[in-house]
A and B are shown apart, each in its own frame.
Chain A
Amino acid sequence: MALIHYREIDGRSRGFYALLALLGALVLAGAAAAWYMEHNGHWVTGMSNQIIWGTPHVFAVFLIVAASGALNVASIASVFGRGLYKPLARLSGLLALALLAGGLAVLVLDLGRPERLIEAMSYYNFKSIFAWNIILYTGFFAVVAVYLWMMFERRMNDFTKPAGLAAFLWRLTLTTGTGSIFGFLVARDAYDSALYAPMFIIMSFSFGLAIFVLVLMAACHWTGRVLGDVLLARLKNLLGVFVAAVLYFVLVYHLTNLYITRHHDVERFILLDGGIYTGLFWFGQILIGGILPLALLYHPTLGKSRRAIALAALAVIAGGLAQIYVIIIGGQAFPMPLFPDKEVTSSFFDGVVATYAPSLPEVVLGVGGVALALALTTFALKVLPFLPTSLADADVDPHHST
């Protein structure tokens, strides 16, 4: 195998600056939305005392989950010794950092008192999974930064494997923590399940790889670097496996609930008569996020088309957002089970399905987080050599013969 050459992208074209300007504008809009929400208070959003976490949390959780998943490509190379993925490891680490930064920015800017973040750093309640996550998120930055350094610095290359292993274990812990935010909530029927931790891990594999594939295709396309068919075929097959695995976990989660009588009502809500949430579940999460990408990726002819692969990755992302929307907002919309066998009424929306419509500032804040992640990635590609000069089959595949 030829030695891999990495080089910064040129970053002088009109397209590059147009992209940065667009992303920058979206980041600024997100910051303005956050300021608007903080200045007026959260009543200007769609969130309420019923729907406590809204669209910002959908974006934040999606980005944080995807961040740990984006690191997988690097782990496959360093930890599992697959040489084919090695040229992609640097980009994988970069995307992981950028996506996490974007997600955390959204999460923090939605806080009621974001200026008090220092309290979250100085007072810890170690029984809180949230407090653990604060350590896991900040630690993730450090661990991945060290991992990247081992990859970049030739003298340190020998330590890539242990650093990669540490990062891999850390990211598994991190996603366990993110899933457990919901898994450890005993109060609500839709949560309170240990399945959330492994389900979030497999979701992260899927969402993170989908974003990785799209960013890789765009970066190679726009900078005129060759992306070989062998490598892309491997990535898309892997994506297909992950998408199927997510579907499996969703199936097991719902089968478990369907078996347990006291969970029948919440299952009926999500699967049958929950309105927008039922629609998002079947059409967004299952059809667009699951069946469509599987069909595209494994279709004998379409599966070789780059457009189809890109479309499949986009569908995974759209379906993933729908899935997290159903989990976070659908899970809160279903009324809390205070009194079994009773019809409950009050002036505080007890016993009724909570209404929620995403407000503009919430959406703009969430999109701003995505834009921040992409802007950081774009900028980093220009200043450091993250991307190989060529990913042509002959350059990356040791067994390739032309």
Chain B
Amino acid sequence: MSLDRRQFLGLGAAAAGVALAPGLHLIDLVQARSPEDKVNALTRWGLLIDTVKCADCEACVTACHEENGVTGHNRPATDAQWIRKVGLRDKRTGHVQTLPLMCQHCESPPCVDVCPTGASFKRADGIVLVDKHICIGCRYCMMACPYKARSFIHEAVTDQKPDVPRGKGTVESCTLCVHRVDRGQIPACVEACTKDGGQAMVFGDLNDRDSEIHKRLRSEPSSQIRPDLALNTGVRYQGL
């Protein structure tokens, strides 16, 4: 197989990463899939977030909203948020933590169960998305999501990113940067966290025994948010 320009540049970037980034072990190697191939269930994309390393910064949030063109109108109640920093304080001990919260890309997503049209769906590789072409804007998925991960677009949108269509009257949430993942890149939040944040996030294939995320998950303790719901989330946390 010959390398095309894109892959070549990707390799170059990887080589640069090896040379420059001391925290490279946090960057997972993403398997490139050619554009003609459909996604399959051999892969399941996921995130591992170490809350101990999660710094008091917003690098992931800024990067996500920049990458996906999520802009607001200074109306916090109705502006969309795909990822947010959540502060936790233990009621008894006062222990303080912070972590990023976004769509948890559940294996059994409640949002997909309740969607009347099937607009809310899970791709074979585990990424939960909204097909805005058939979303009627009923917001039942927002009622059903235990993580408050979804936003309704309350007003007209302009200046969308070509890779990230967004429009009034439909529901949206973290796509795990599906447009980047499909071309072999990691999500913008993970990239930003590694570069400018606390190197707290790892992206990778939960099914791949050789992936960084799989190695960490099988050798270190981790947890899910609201494990009582047994949703088998694709996003896992450490230090909770």
A interface residues, Cβ below 8 angstroms from B? 38, 40-43, 48-50, 52-53, 111-114, 116-117, 119-120, 123-125, 127-131, 134, 181, 184-188, 332, 336-339, 341-350, 355
Contacts and interface: CB of A to CB of B under 8 A. Distances in A.
The secondary-structure label for the interface of chain B is loop
B91 A125 contact: no
A343 B135 contact: no
A176 B127 CA distance: 32
B153 to A, nearest CB: 7
A250 B136 CA distance: 33
Interface stretch (B10-18, B77-85, B180-188, B207-215): B77-85
B86 A349 contact: no
Interface stretch (B1-9, B23-31, B163-171): B163-171
Contacts of A338: 86, 101, 146-148, 225-226
Nearest to B149: A348
B198 interface: no
B218 interface: no
B152 A49 contact: yes
A41 B153 contact: yes
B146 A346 contact: no
Interface residues of B, number: 56
A112 B169 contact: yes
Nearest to B154: A43
B160 interface: no
Interface of B: 73, 75-81, 84-92, 101, 110, 112-119, 134-140, 142-148, 150-156, 168-171, 225-226, 229, 240
A337 B240 CA distance: 15
Nearest to B113: A127
Contact of B137 (A40, A113, A127, A332): A113
Closest 3 CB pairs of A and B: A112-B137, A112-B169, A41-B155
Given A41-B154, A185-B143, A188-B143, A347 B81 contact: yes
Contacts of A188: 143
A125 B148 contact: no
Contacts of A134: 116
Nearest to B94: A343
Contacts of A114: 136-137
Given A41-B169, A341-B90, A49 B138 contact: no
B106 to A, nearest CB: 11
Contacts of B75: 43
Given A130-B115, A185-B110, 14 more contacts: A42-B78, A49-B78, A111-B136, A111-B137, A113-B170, A114-B137, A124-B117, A125-B115, A184-B114, A337-B226, A342-B90, A342-B91, A343-B89, A346-B101
A370 to B, nearest CB: 21
A332 B170 CA distance: 20
B120 to A, nearest CB: 8
Contacts of B84: 346-348, 350
B34 to A, nearest CB: 29
A120 to B, nearest CB: 5
A187 B146 contact: yes
A119 B134 contact: yes
Contacts of B79: 49
Contact of A52 (B87, B92, B116, B142): B142
